[in-house]
Amino acid sequence: MKNSIFDKTIFKYSFKRTALNIPILVCTSVLLIFSIILSSLLVTMGQTYVFAIILFFIFLTINLTVFNLVNLSKIFLTDMELGVMNLEIRKGRNNKAIFWSRLFSNLIVSVAIIATYMIIFIIILAIKNPSELKNFPMMFFLIIPLNLIIVGTFLLIFSFRKFKLAIALSTLISVLIIPSPLLGMTASIFINEDSQLNLQNDIAIFSNIRNQTLNLLKNGNEVVDRVLNEANLLNDLFELGEESPILTKQELMITSLNSGIYNIEDLKIAYKKPENENHLEGDFPKGIKDTLLIKVNSEIIGESESNNLSRNYKESFYLNQPFNNKQFQFTKNEFEKTINLINGMDLGFSKNHMKEFNKLVYTFGINQIWNSRSTNQIFNNEVMEFIFPTINDQLTPKLHDFLKKGEINTPVGLRVWNQAVAQIFSAALYQEDLGYEKLNIAKVNAYNFFFPWAMTYETIVNPNPFLNDFQILRNNKNETASFSTYIFDNGHKYINIAESEDLEYSGYAIPGVEIVESKQISKSNKLFNKIGYEAFLLATSLVMIEVSYLIFSKKLKL
């Protein structure tokens, strides 16, 4: 077939030499073994996941560089120098078949190397960090175009018969690609500081949940409206009991909200004085009893015999730090069961509104648990402290003792729900505007073109462009990985301007609700499009390869 781009004989000859190349097989085996060992050590439920991904990328790109340089040199450069291509022409093969059959053999083996690495890493993730299974596999769409960039560089220079230069420039491009995540991490820190958008992960979580909650409020969600308008009624917690050697009234309120214990009998158990006298007496004040949060708790705990919710805290993450995947899955399942029960309750408004609100509660709650997976803190003050001062919680060990004994009536999943909701309304009611000038945001955007490694780094850490913002923040929890923090956290869309109540504990009190649109609104919550970035790399590599073929075909003697 005169004009065919594929020749079976040339392909088989090239593929056999490619697949059975001993130096390549040895190199791949050694790098793969190192990658497996280091990945197994670093892929834990701790923050080292990001570094495991970076090492995975580095080992894989080193492997692809060695493979491409060795193999392309052999099947293109050597074959041309030894006259193999001229012999193929004399036997009737055309330029298309000579070029593309060799390239196909190279690409098949390189894709096989990529697939081998990824399958092994996916197996490791499935065992040690399954939450990343929706994220990591998407890295395939970054690795493929980067591999083609290396191939395209070699072939483009090779087509001009500049053999040594082809190897040199391909090596240079590879040297720039291999450390790109480390260069990107460094560049992101510089960009972050120079642009004055030095946001920490806690502020990013805070801003993100605030905007999502108030968007629901703006769209008429009755649950959000009720929760926010009832939140300041929880100030009545200050009136429960007297000062004690264990904690002040202010600490009682803050600790109650942080702990997720909204059942009065559980609070009486948890907050006993050392001499075993109850620090709390009676019931909640009427204002608190009528709130949605307390009603939900009362109904679920009141039906404890039939709702099949577990109170076995020993199996949850609460009593296990750092916790493992089994404890996370147990807590996650209990959280999901609790949300399904709440979604089915008749609370006087549309169940769809509750489902919409609980979708936010669930996403935030699950990712907050993972954020704390190695910090020995669950639902800590990262968000709450923007309203309440940080306190030294003396009750945590005491509360854990009661949890171990099974004396607390609040189910595991309900406690998670309570804590997530408390942090959501505390973020939504925060009364300062943390907006940023558009000039600074534009400055960060411009830096992307000068430091392209930053985009590569961010795409490596979070390759799935469809992750929600909480999941992205979870992966960038470590302080050095701060780039994505300000990708979507450039200011608040709304601000609460309600006047604070004139209370003696106003520094601790939950404010009222009067939401207005912020004057400083972010230009965009995404500084670059990952799909667009990968498409650009792919298009660039394909153009390079096509141009290489056209020049190769013109220069190859017929």
Computed over every residue of the chain, the mean pLDDT equals 76
* pLDDT tier, 558 (very low <50, low <70, confident <90, very high otherwise): very low
Per-residue DSSP letter, 468: -
Residues 139, 119: Cα–Cα separation, whole Å: 12
Q: By mean pLDDT, which of 27-36, 240-249, 304-313, 508-517 is the weakest?
A: 240-249
- At residue 109's C-alpha, the angle toward residues 103 and 115, to 5°, is 130
Residues 284, 279: Cα–Cα separation, whole Å: 13
Residues 169, 160: Cα–Cα separation, whole Å: 13
Position 92 pLDDT exceeds 90: no
Position 104 pLDDT exceeds 80: yes
Residues 231, 379: Cα–Cα separation, whole Å: 18
Position 357 pLDDT exceeds 80: yes
Enumerate the β-bridge partners of residue 494: 517
Run of H or E including 496: strand 494-496
> What pLDDT, on a 0 to 100 scale, did the predictor assign at position 391?
38
Q: By mean pLDDT, which of 52-56, 345-349, 503-507 is the weakest?
A: 503-507
Identity of the amino acid at 79 = D
Position 196 pLDDT exceeds 50: no
> What pLDDT, on a 0 to 100 scale, did the predictor assign at position 232?
80
Identity of the amino acid at 50 = V
Of 281 and 219, more confident = 219
> What phi, psi does 515 have (nearest 5°)?
-90, 130
Percent of the chain at pLDDT > 70 equals 69
Place of tokens 């097989």: 25
Cα distances (Å, whole numbers) of residue 394 to 237, 281, 502, 508: 18, 20, 28, 18
- At residue 151's C-alpha, the angle toward residues 145 and 152, to 5°, is 85
> What pLDDT, on a 0 to 100 scale, did the predictor assign at position 449?
59
SS3 494: strand
Terminal Cα distance for the chain, rounded: 16
Of 163 and 78, more confident = 78
Mean pLDDT within 177-187: 76
Place of tokens 């392909």: 11
Structure tokens at 23: 């130096």
Residues 403, 410: Cα–Cα separation, whole Å: 10
> What pLDDT, on a 0 to 100 scale, did the predictor assign at position 484?
42
Residues 178, 146: Cα–Cα separation, whole Å: 10
Task: Tell me the whole-structure pTM to 2 decimals.
Answer: 0.68
Burial tier of 255 (Cβ tally within 10 Å: 0-12, 13-18, 19+): buried
Residues 438, 110: Cα–Cα separation, whole Å: 43
Position 129 pLDDT exceeds 50: yes
> What pLDDT, on a 0 to 100 scale, did the predictor assign at position 151?
93
What is the three-state SS of 378-415?
A: CCCHHHHCCCCCCCCCCCHHHHHHHHHHCCCCCCHHHH
Mean pLDDT within 113-129: 88
Mean pLDDT within 403-430: 84
Mean pLDDT within 421-435: 74
> 515-517 and 494-496 as β-strands: parallel, antiparallel, unpaired?
antiparallel
Helix axis angle, 95-128 relative to 22-42, nearest 10°?
A: 30
> What pLDDT, on a 0 to 100 scale, did the predictor assign at position 243?
52
> What pLDDT, on a 0 to 100 scale, did the predictor assign at position 384?
43
Torsion over CA: 369, 374, 376, 381 (sign):
negative
Of 321 and 409, more confident = 409
Burial tier of 14 (Cβ tally within 10 Å: 0-12, 13-18, 19+): buried
Position 431 pLDDT exceeds 80: no
Mean pLDDT within 505-525: 64
> What pLDDT, on a 0 to 100 scale, did the predictor assign at position 274?
54
Torsion over CA: 151, 153, 158, 159 (sign):
positive
Position 227 pLDDT exceeds 80: yes
> What pLDDT, on a 0 to 100 scale, did the predictor assign at position 147?
93
* pLDDT tier, 544 (very low <50, low <70, confident <90, very high otherwise): very high
Mean pLDDT within 520-541: 75
> What pLDDT, on a 0 to 100 scale, did the predictor assign at position 288?
82
Burial tier of 215 (Cβ tally within 10 Å: 0-12, 13-18, 19+): middle
Of 349 and 111, more confident = 111
Per-residue DSSP letter, 139: G
Identity of the amino acid at 204 = A
Place of tokens 């593309």: 100
Helix axis angle, 530-555 relative to 140-158, nearest 10°?
A: 20
> What pLDDT, on a 0 to 100 scale, did the predictor assign at position 44?
60
Residues 101, 98: Cα–Cα separation, whole Å: 6
> What pLDDT, on a 0 to 100 scale, did the predictor assign at position 327?
81
pLDDT in tens, 468-480: 666 666 665 543 4
Position 500 pLDDT exceeds 70: no
Residues 336, 383: Cα–Cα separation, whole Å: 22
Identity of the amino acid at 240 = L
Mean pLDDT within 112-138: 86
Task: Collect all residues with Cβ–Cβ distance below 8 Å to 103 and sequence separation of at least 6.
Answer: 151, 155, 545
> What pLDDT, on a 0 to 100 scale, did the predictor assign at position 373?
46
Position 444 pLDDT exceeds 80: no
Cis peptide bond prior to 463, omega within 30° of 0: no
Largest pairwise CA distance in the chain = 101
Where would I find the H helices in 232-322?
A: 249-259, 264-270, 286-289, 292-302
